[in-house]
Structure 1
């Protein structure tokens, strides 16, 4: 009888071990299945994030390039304003010289007219 008890004990122990390791295997397979489902769900999101990041990087590069161009235009505008101010000053000086020359010509014309009328 002790052999039967021993065999029953071994059978129960074997069944319990089989059940326990089977349960561990089922949990492992379930976790792998869950991870695969999560990976399949996340993969399109990661692709979208990568695409959006690349698009954002292109937009930032474009913005920086346009910013650089805007700064160049502002610098050119500043230089042109300085040149315009310098030219306006030169025009003022030339206008004053022209007025002086016109007065001198009028005086010469008057002097010549006076000398011709005296003769």
Structure 2
């Protein structure tokens, strides 16, 4: 199970790092034009903040466990990303964007598995 948690955490880290980096690096208008219409509901600083949270969460999924420095940060990062996906699902639900909700639920479930595993039976 330890290997499975590492694989899930790695996949989540890549997904959140790339998504967060995109939100941090691109202007809000370009994100909206690329299909992220939800950014119109948030100020530009809010979109950047979400991106920073995703990047930091991605880093928190891997580095603390890999370096064995404060490994309790791994399940905390996973919990934070799960909460972020819960918020994203709410936003997409209000906007009637059902396809996006599915992706949010999958990412939330994977993050919850990592949090459960690293808080519980497979802690570092």
TM-score in terms of structure 1 length: 0.23
Of Structure 1 and Structure 2, the greater helix share is in 1
TM-score in terms of structure 2 length: 0.23
Q: Relative CO higher for 1 or 2, CA cutoff 8 Å, sep ≥ 6?
A: 2
